[in-house]
Structure 1
Amino acid sequence: MLFVIRITMVFFDFDAEDGNAEQEITLIIAFVFGVDQSAVDIISFAPGSVAVNFETSVEKNETTEAVYSDLNAEKAEALFVRSGYGNVNVTKAETEIVEAPPPPSPSQPTLASPSPPPPPSPASGGGGLARATIIIIAACSGGGLIGFAAVVGLIWYRRSRRSGRVVDAHASDEASEEEDEGEHQRSVPAAESGGRVPASYDRVSTYHSD
Structure 2
Amino acid sequence: MGVVTQGRGPGPKQDRSRATRKRLLEAAVSCLAEHGWAGSTVSVVAERAGVSRGAAQHHFPTREDLFTAAVEYVAEERSAALRALPDQDRAAVVAALVDLYTGPLFRAALQLWVAASNEEQLRPRVTELEARVGRETHRIAVGLLHADENRPGVRETVQGLLDMARGLGLANVLTDDTARRRRVVAQWAAMVEDALG
TM-score range, shorter chain: under 0.3
The structure with higher relative contact order (CA 8 Å, sep 6+) is: 2
Structure with bigger gyration radius: 1
Instruction: Decide which structure has greater strand share.
Output: 1
Provide TM-score, normalisation by structure 1: 0.18
TM norm structure 2: 0.19
**Which has a greater percent of helix?**
2
